[in-house]
Amino acid sequence: ANSRNAPASSAAIKTCDCASGPGNYTGLVEGCCCDYETAHSLNDHVLHPILQELVKTPFFRYFKVKLWCDCPFWPDDGMCHLRDCSVCECPESEFPEPFKKPSGVLAADDVICQEGKPQAAVDRTLDDRIFRGWIEIDNPWTYDDETDNSAMTYVNLQLNPERYTGYAGASAQRIWTAIYKENCPQYPSEELCHEKEVMYKLISGLHSSISVHIASEYLLDASTNLWGPNLELLYYRVWKHPDRVRNLYFIFLFVLRAVTKAADYLEQAEYNTGNPIEDLKTHSLVRQLLYNPELISACPVPFDEAKLWQGENGPELKLQIQKQFRNISAVMNCVGCEKCRLWGKLQVNGLATALKVLFSVDGESNQNHLQLQRNEVIALFNLLNRLSESVKFVHDMRPSLEKMETHGTSPVGKATW
Ligand SMILES: Cc1cc2nc3c(=O)[nH]c(=O)nc-3n(C[C@H](O)[C@H](O)[C@H](O)COP(=O)(O)OP(=O)(O)OC[C@H]3O[C@@H](n4cnc5c(N)ncnc54)[C@H](O)[C@@H]3O)c2cc1C
């Protein structure tokens, strides 16, 4: 058993109240109980290597999702008819034999029959033996549109990396605006309560992470299909805004706290895909992450969730914020690019799972009542992996970004990003 699944208390975490200086990324990550240096050192040595292996295992690489675009907010938008986001139904005979096998990992670019930009479409190749029943439990933090099982698709995430898709313009802008407005109609506001500020930072941190992934795998030259990092994009969309970098670290530590708090549950969960060797490896990787001595000693409680919902109107506020987060999860159905919708849904589901672990268990502190769906566990770890990749990329690129800060970047970059 692990003491980390006990509720965090401000008394137990003496250093929690300190704030870091602006823009320099030293000291404690604002609102968290772990400093920047420890966060990336832990990420580099422990989390990133384990997570990279974990998400490739059969258990963690398949995600169940409804990819249909049935937007409850703008039914007449028509954006799902964009060529960029459509996926043609290929006749069975069009798929090469290895597509049908789980071990036949192919680059997403190999998908034959996508219309428009192939990088925006989701490869549905999968192995459907993977999904055997875990429990189906509602999460109060998500919009439950997953009831119609016939509409659910299983997606191999390894074939569909989150990266540049070309999705931009009014449709993307409308989604982000809706998300920020849902959370807080008049942000930024001095009167924002602590809980709403936390929600804002989570969303902004997720937004930063998505931008980092776009920058780390960008289509540099469509004519030669050349992919690579786009540091100007990273600079202008993320690095130039210190709050976006800070929010990325914030969501990373928040989700890490949820994973470590649920350690006992996650340790006992079944990672069964019918492949005993792979499943044993999966379980062992989960344990290596949860009980890593360096993680436990350096950053035992990355975020102190015990401080939230303490005010007089705490329970009402929680219901209100839960409703707002459910709306944010519903907005994911309106994302007009299939691959962005897939990762948007997965990551919002992962975040909703973290919120459920930290705030929705009976009696708040009693992790014995925690129950998660398999898909929630998959989303939670895949989200943590995405965040870990983003933190690593920003940290690794820091010298180049600082150079850009000093010497300036090309005017082309400035105009584009
Ligand atoms: C759910 C979702 C998933 C997406 N996934 C992908 C993907 O996988 N691949 C892809 O290529 N595109 C994806 N997109 C599109 C992408 O996020 C951008 O919208 C697009 O690249 C256009 O970027 P932009 O420069 O106009 O600014 P946007 O990123 O659209 O930002 C809009 C506005 O939000 C504010 N803002 C930006 N970042 C932050 C932040 N971190 N915190 C607070 N405020 C911020 C700024 O005022 C900015 O002008 C996705 C969009 C959504 C809504």
- Beta carbons within 10 angstroms of residue 118's beta carbon: 19
Confidence of residue 25 (pLDDT cuts 50, 70, 90): confident
Write the pLDDT tens digit of every residue in 223-268: 998 999 999 999 999 999 999 999 999 999 999 999 999 999 999 8
SS3 state of residue 103: coil
CA distance 217 to 6: 39
Return the amino acid letter for 254. F
What letter does residue 7 receive in the DSSP assignment?
P
Write the pLDDT tens digit of every residue in 113-165: 333 455 666 766 554 444 444 556 678 888 876 556 666 777 888 888 888 98
**Helix (H), strand (E) at residue 255:** helix 242-261
Q: Atom 49, ligand 1: which residue's CA is nearest?
A: 173
pLDDT for residue 269 is more than 70: yes
pLDDT for residue 384 is more than 80: yes
CA gyration radius, the chain:
21
Q: What is the reported pLDDT for 410?
A: 57
Pair of tokens at residue 66: 């409804």
Residues 69, 80 contacting (CB under 8 angstroms)? yes
CA distance 162 to 353: 20
In percent, the amount of the chain with pLDDT more than 70 equals: 71
Q: Atom 3, ligand 1: which residue's CA is nearest?
A: 340
Read off the pLDDT of each residue in 48-71 and give the average, rounded to a whole number. Answer: 89
Q: Atom 29, ligand 1: which residue's CA is nearest?
A: 211
How far is C-alpha 347 from the chain's CA centre? 3
Residues 6 or more apart whose Cβ sits within 8 Å of residue 217: 161, 163, 164, 227, 228, 229
Q: What is the reported pLDDT for 201?
A: 92
Q: What is the reported pLDDT for 191?
A: 64
104 C-alpha vs ligand 1 centroid, how far in Å? Answer: 32
206 CA closest ligand 1 atom index? 41
173 CA closest ligand 1 atom index? 30
Q: What is the reported pLDDT for 124?
A: 61
Write the pLDDT tens digit of every residue in 95-108: 334 334 433 332 33
172 CA closest ligand 1 atom index? 19
In percent, the amount of the chain with pLDDT more than 90 equals: 40
- Judging by DSSP bridges, how do beta strands 153-156 and 218-221 pair with one another? unpaired
ipTM: 0.99
Question: Average pLDDT over the chain, rounded to whole?
Answer: 78
pLDDT for residue 12 is more than 70: no
Q: What is the reported pLDDT for 69?
A: 67
Residue in this structure with the two tokens 């993680």, named with its chain if needed: 295
Confidence of residue 66 (pLDDT cuts 50, 70, 90): confident
176 C-alpha vs ligand 1 centroid, how far in Å? Answer: 7
- Beta carbons within 10 angstroms of residue 105's beta carbon: 13
Q: What distance separates the 2 farthest-apart alpha carbons in the chain?
A: 64
Q: What is the reported pLDDT for 42?
A: 95
169 C-alpha vs ligand 1 centroid, how far in Å? Answer: 10
pLDDT for residue 385 is more than 90: yes
Write the pLDDT tens digit of every residue in 195-226: 888 999 999 999 999 999 999 999 999 899 89
Residue in this structure with the two tokens 């897939």, named with its chain if needed: 342
Residue in this structure with the two tokens 């995430």, named with its chain if needed: 157
Write the pLDDT tens digit of every residue in 280-292: 999 999 999 999 9
207 CA closest ligand 1 atom index? 41
Where is pLDDT greater, at 315 or 355? 355
Read off the pLDDT of each residue in 176-200 and give the average, rounded to a whole number. Answer: 76
What letter does residue 153 receive in the DSSP assignment?
E
402 C-alpha vs ligand 1 centroid, how far in Å? Answer: 23
336 C-alpha vs ligand 1 centroid, how far in Å? Answer: 13
End-to-end CA distance of the chain: 48
Read off the pLDDT of each residue in 186-194 and give the average, rounded to a whole number. Answer: 63
172 C-alpha vs ligand 1 centroid, how far in Å? Answer: 7
Read off the pLDDT of each residue in 365-375 and give the average, rounded to a whole number. Answer: 74
Pair of tokens at residue 303: 């975020």
SS3 state of residue 303: strand
Strands (E), 117-260: 153-156, 218-221, 226-228
Confidence of residue 86 (pLDDT cuts 50, 70, 90): very low
306 C-alpha vs ligand 1 centroid, how far in Å? Answer: 31
Residues 6 or more apart whose Cβ sits within 8 Å of residue 11: none
Q: The dihedral of CA 39, 40, 41, 44: what is its sign? A: positive
Prior bond of 399 cis (ω within 30°): no
- Beta carbons within 10 angstroms of residue 188's beta carbon: 9
Instruction: Identify the residues whose C-beta falls under 6 Å from ligand 1.
Output: 162, 164-165, 167-168, 172-173, 175-176, 204, 207-208, 210-211, 214, 237, 244, 335, 339-340, 343-344
- Alpha-helical segments (H) within 272-410: 276-290, 293-298, 314-331, 338-359, 374-407
Confidence of residue 306 (pLDDT cuts 50, 70, 90): confident
Pocket test for ligand 1, best of 155, 163, 204, 210 (most atoms within 8 A of CB): 210
211 CA closest ligand 1 atom index? 17
364 C-alpha vs ligand 1 centroid, how far in Å? Answer: 34
294 C-alpha vs ligand 1 centroid, how far in Å? Answer: 34
